[in-house]
Amino acid sequence: MLDRFAALVRRFYSEPKGPIPLHAPVFAGKEKEYLCRCVDTTFVSSVGEYVTRFEDMLREFSGAAAAVAVVNGTCGLTAALGLVGVRPGEVVLTQALTFVATANAVRHAGAEPVFLDSDPDTLGMSPDALRAFLDAKAESGPDGPRLRADGRRIAACLPMHVLGHACRIREIAALCQEWRIPLVEDAAEALGSTLDGRHLGLFGRIGVLSFNGNKTVTTGGGGMLLTNDPELGARAKRLTATAKRPHPWEFFHDETAWNYRMPNVNAALGCAQMERIEDILADKRDVAAAYREFFANEADMEFVDQPEGCRSNFWLCSVRAGSRAARDAMLEWTNAHGIATRPLWRLMTDLPMYAGNAGDDLDAAREAVERVVSLPSGPRWGKRP
């Protein structure tokens, strides 16, 4: 099977012998033209035409009321948590199966993450686990729920859409509304993914995208806050830009704020990439369809498909192996033969700085970590076979 898989991947990416990365960017549009314009005009920092244009493109594409560009996804999450009222010493409910930036952002906001289990199919936070945790360990308070054990306020819920697939965000949103918990979505991997026609990141108060070098669209490094609330969007724009009052020359800042502004050179890349977003997404879905067909006849490998109602960007196409041994065998063989495959992240509770933060037993999340393999999934537009 692995020989046939390798042949398929090499045909996808028109690379008969060389290494095939997991998700490399393709710059086949106007990236160089826009970068040169930044240099020629000297607008290379956070002031420039491309920052505003990139925000407008993301707002229109996602359907958000406001989109605010920031320097990276981690800073975006940190800002989002602060914007919904998370304060030092409080608790944020999130998931153990995620990239470390999710947990780090909670700590950067001064709060402590509590990690819940995932659903086996979506890999995202399980609303069943969320409900069980709240029923068993939380109680209502005048300013929202608190932990029964120590009285700390549960200041936010932070689910993450894993690999671009929607978690059961509608059920999570309903629980958050019931318990009066602000909902922030880590949609770092979900640009172009929708659930019932709504872009991921727009089911809660605020959502955060990432444009890291390995994302569906890249700005080198960067992120974007999305919200349906225009007033919250305006406040996000102000507080991520040092809370400076507009003035032709004076520097007057009236709140403690962040300097998380995206530089114009990064936004220039993003504008060029967004001009071809539909091509990128269509190509990635073509790759996913080919993987789906290939693994349909493999008894020990199951393609990780988009959940019902979700139109996924298939940021990283993945398969679920029948066992940890089968997963390891695939990882070892493919990487030895020049094809980059990767396991999922270690559970946050398996990292030393978060070892004591588990909120439940994490059985489904641990099984996913032991069995899921991510496959080469980068866009091929401009380099199709």
- Pairing type for strands 223-227 and 206-210 reads antiparallel
**Domain CATH code at residue 123:** 3.40.640.10
Specify if 380 maps to a domain: no
Specify if 383 maps to a domain: no
Considering the domain architecture, whether residues 252 and 287 belong to the same structural domain is answered as no
Tens-digit pLDDT profile for residues 151-200: 999 999 999 999 999 999 999 999 999 999 999 999 999 999 999 999 99
CB atoms within 10 A of CB 1: 14
Considering the domain architecture, whether residues 12 and 86 belong to the same structural domain is answered as no
Considering the domain architecture, whether residues 207 and 307 belong to the same structural domain is answered as no
What is the average pLDDT value for the chain, to the nearest integer?
96
Please give the average per-residue pLDDT across 221-226, as a whole number.
97
State the Cα angle at 98 between 311 and 204, rounded to 5°: 55
Specify if 384 maps to a domain: no
Domain boundary among 274, 297, 325: 274
Tokens of 130: 């969320």
Considering the domain architecture, whether residues 177 and 292 belong to the same structural domain is answered as no
Q: With cut-offs at 50, 70 and 90, classify the pLDDT of residue 381.
A: low
Q: How many separate domains does the chain show?
A: 2
Per-residue confidence (pLDDT) for residue 371, from 0 to 100: 98
Considering the domain architecture, whether residues 203 and 320 belong to the same structural domain is answered as no
Domain boundary among 259, 274, 289: 274
Considering the domain architecture, whether residues 152 and 38 belong to the same structural domain is answered as yes
Per-residue confidence (pLDDT) for residue 382, from 0 to 100: 56
Q: What is the DSSP-derived secondary structure letter of residue 352?
A: G
Per-residue confidence (pLDDT) for residue 55, from 0 to 100: 98
Tens-digit pLDDT profile for residues 111-163: 999 999 999 999 999 999 999 999 999 999 999 999 999 999 999 999 999 99
For residue 385, is pLDDT > 90? Answer: no
For residue 383, is pLDDT > 70? Answer: no
Specify if 319 maps to a domain: yes
Specify if 308 maps to a domain: yes
Tens-digit pLDDT profile for residues 351-362: 999 999 988 899
Alpha-carbon gap, residue 249 to 161, rounded angstroms: 43
Domain boundary among 274, 306, 325: 274
Q: With cut-offs at 50, 70 and 90, classify the pLDDT of residue 47.
A: confident
Q: What is the DSSP-derived secondary structure letter of residue 245?
A: P
138: containing domain? 31-274
Alpha-carbon gap, residue 82 to 94, rounded angstroms: 15
For residue 296, is pLDDT > 50? Answer: yes
Alpha-carbon gap, residue 315 to 146, rounded angstroms: 36
Considering the domain architecture, whether residues 13 and 87 belong to the same structural domain is answered as no
Alpha-carbon gap, residue 306 to 311, rounded angstroms: 7
Specify the pTM: 0.97
Q: With cut-offs at 50, 70 and 90, classify the pLDDT of residue 91.
A: very high
Specify if 72 maps to a domain: yes
Please give the average per-residue pLDDT across 313-342, as a whole number.
98
Considering the domain architecture, whether residues 13 and 82 belong to the same structural domain is answered as no
Q: With cut-offs at 50, 70 and 90, classify the pLDDT of residue 82.
A: very high
Specify if 198 maps to a domain: yes
Per-residue confidence (pLDDT) for residue 291, from 0 to 100: 97
Considering the domain architecture, whether residues 22 and 156 belong to the same structural domain is answered as no
Considering the domain architecture, whether residues 184 and 136 belong to the same structural domain is answered as yes
Please give the average per-residue pLDDT across 10-15, as a whole number.
92
CB atoms within 10 A of CB 259: 12
Considering the domain architecture, whether residues 129 and 75 belong to the same structural domain is answered as yes
Specify if 385 maps to a domain: no
Considering the domain architecture, whether residues 305 and 228 belong to the same structural domain is answered as no
Q: What percent of the chain has pLDDT over 90?
A: 95
Please give the average per-residue pLDDT across 250-257, as a whole number.
95
> Among 200, 162, 163, which Cα is nearest to 183's?
200
**Domain CATH code at residue 15:** 3.90.1150.10
* Non-local CB neighbours of 301 within 8 Å, separated by 6+ positions: 1, 295, 319, 320, 321, 322, 326, 330
